[in-house]
Amino acid sequence: MESKAVTESRRGKLLSFYRKNRRMPNITEMMDLFGLSSRSSAFYASERLIEEGYANKDRTGKLVPAPGLFRVPLLGHIRAGFAAPAEEELADTVTIGDYLIDDPNASYLLQVEGDSMQDAGIQSGDMVVFERSQRFKPGDIVVALTEDGYTLKYLRKKGQTFFLEAANDRYPDIHPKEGEILGRVTSTFRKY
């Protein structure tokens, strides 16, 4: 029984279709996509894909992507400087966009220039997602709008007063005015 392999190959075609058309195929399109010549065969095939966790169906019967479809293999953990074993078998599911942005309506992007947050692992050119809100606490990396423009800094607290500290010794602290802090950095990403 090579059914597993067939279904796996169809997962690839399904994923390609989804990436190209930004929607899942309907039964007729699956027929073409899989090279079948009967719509009922495609219907049968779709049920296999659902069994494998690659897709789901609406209450209306429409095909919808399941998390498994986007699966990017998570190989394991890189331990310390001197590496450690990792379970190649283990595959976990991460949909990166949704993972990085919790509240799409309050989230904004900033591209970082300069080295003020270098010691916090944020380099020049990195993209920063920040959530516009007043719910931040000491230790958070915050986006502040000072008279000079946007800044990225650690929020610190000394006694009752907040101040902004760069993650780079070469920059002095800043004491922000009321309402200058726009939000909290929730994630960052970088492309090489």
Partner DNA sequence: AGCATAAACGAACAATTGTTCGAATGCTAC
Partner DNA sequence: GTAGCATTCGAACAATTGTTCGTTTATGCT
23: alpha, beta or left? (left if phi > 0; alpha if psi -120 to 50): beta
Residues 161-180 as x/- pattern, contact with a second copy by CB under 8 A = -----x-x-xx---------
Answer for which of 1, 2, 5, 19 binds a second copy (CB under 8 A) is: 19
Contacting a second copy within 129-148 (CB under 8 A): 129, 140-141, 143, 146, 148
Count CA within 13 A, CB hemisphere, residue 13.
Answer: 17
C-beta separation of 146 from 176 below 8 A: yes
Q: Which is nearer to DNA, 6 or 75 (CB)?
A: 6
Does 56 contact DNA by CB under 7 A?
Answer: no
Active site residue 20: no
Task: Please say whether the dihedral angle defined by the alpha carbons of residues 101, 106, 108 and 114, taken in this order, is positive or negative.
Answer: negative
Active site residue 157: no
| Partner interacting with residue 9 (select from a second copy, DNA, none; CB below 5-8 Å by kind) | none
| Partner interacting with residue 111 (select from a second copy, DNA, none; CB below 5-8 Å by kind) | a second copy
In the chain, how long is the greatest CA-to-CA distance? 74
Question: Distance between CA 185 and CA 140 in Å, rounded?
Answer: 7
- Residues involved in catalysis: 116, 153
